[in-house]
């Protein structure tokens, strides 16, 4: 019974997602008005991509980023933009393996183990200026991506949550 409970607890935590945004908090983003897409790369091996075709995945990522940046007040252009958007997306097969502790062992056998196979996905989005200086980076990892489009939208939304092209209000000293 303890083994079943332990496995249920472990399997319920499989859907972990981590999204980090790196940026210079002192940078004034209000001078950026336009963006263009640069390089986009899929790093998942072709034999492991499953049903998702390459063009469809690129389209999902670009659409999600484009919608988010447009909502933030930027305009997409074909060339000579203030910001260049590039991204890398991919996944890999992973396996966790561990020896069970005292709660998962029987008195006669102390060498019981567990393992689980899962897919770890990652998405990195960079916004660079004309001089190739990094302005904003979103770095996300997620386990168990079943609905890829919804996952990409969630990562993009969380990654650009603090992105604002409105100038910060400076508090006046009295």
Q: What is the pTM of this model?
A: 0.73
pLDDT one-digit tens code per residue, 42-94? 887 766 666 567 788 899 999 999 999 999 999 999 988 999 999 999 877 76
List of domains in the chain: 15-101+113-159 (3.30.160.670)
- Which pLDDT does position 5 carry in this prediction? 29
Q: Which residues contact 162 (CB under 8 A, 6 or more apart)?
A: 21, 23
**Residue 48, class by beta-carbon neighbours within 10 Å (0-12 exposed, 13-18 middle, 19+ buried)?**
exposed
**What integer is the mean pLDDT of 14-42?**
85
């Amino acid at each position: 019974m303890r083994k079943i409970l332990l496995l249920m607890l472990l399997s319920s935590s499989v859907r972990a997602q981590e999204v980090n945004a790196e940026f210079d908090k002192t940078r004034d983003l209000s001078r950026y008005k336009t963006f263009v897409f640069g390089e986009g790369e899929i790093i998942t091996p072709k034999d492991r991509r499953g049903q998702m075709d390459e063009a469809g995945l690129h389209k999902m990522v670009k659409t999600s980023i484009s919608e988010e940046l447009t909502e933030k007040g930027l305009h997409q252009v074909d060339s000579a933009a203030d910001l260049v958007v590039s991204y890398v997306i991919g996944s890999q097969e992973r396996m966790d393996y561990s020896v069970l502790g005292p709660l998962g062992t029987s008195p006669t056998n102390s060498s019981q183990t567990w393992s689980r196979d899962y897919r770890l996905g990652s998405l990195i989005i960079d916004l660079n200026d004309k001089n190739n200086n990094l302005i904003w980076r979103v770095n996300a990892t997620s386990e168990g991506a079943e609905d890829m489009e919804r996952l990409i939208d969630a990562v993009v939304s969380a990654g650009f949550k603090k992105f604002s092209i409105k100038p910060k209000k400076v508090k006046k000293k009295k």
